[in-house]
Amino acid sequence: MVLEYLDFDHSDDSEGAGSWDALASVRPERLPAALREVRAVLDWAHAAFGAPDAGGAELGEWSYALQCSQEGVGDLALAYDAGREALDHAPIATGGGRCTLSLTVGGSAGFSHALAQAFGLD
């Protein structure tokens, strides 16, 4: 899948584990398209590498952080539901300004390499 809205920056540690940070700033009417890309990345990660690390004692292969805000409105509640392969979010204010979406995914060297391959991030 080619990503049109999410623009990822990559960093890794000496052992190859990577972190991918993406930002998208879109008009409210374009937010659903940007959210489809977020969902595609998270659906892929969950299907390929299982449930994300929930911050417990045992580290999983990957983890993520997701945020969304709208100018003039503030933070919009946003949550990924892997069981339904869906993103649940607060309503977008029609009179509000641009929406800024932030997604960070990170994980093992294998995860990082596979993510880059799956979404053409090399």
Q: In degrees rounded to 5, what are phi and psi of residue 81? A: -115, 100
Q: What is the mean pLDDT of residues 17-45?
A: 93
- The mean per-residue pLDDT over the stretch 59-88 comes to 88
Does residue 103 have a pLDDT over 70? yes
Task: Tell me what the pLDDT averaged over the chain comes to.
Answer: 88
pLDDT band for position 57 (cuts 50, 70, 90) = very low
For residue 94, the cross-strand partners are none
Structure tokens at 114: 């596979």
- Indicate left, alpha or beta for 30 from its phi (over 0: left) and psi (-120 to 50: alpha): alpha
How many other CB atoms sit within 10 Å of the CB of residue 71?
A: 13
- pLDDT, position 71: 92
Q: Tell me which residue has tokens 């999410």.
A: 6
The DSSP 8-state label assigned to residue 46 in this structure reads H
Taking 70 as the threshold, does the pLDDT of residue 59 lie above it? no
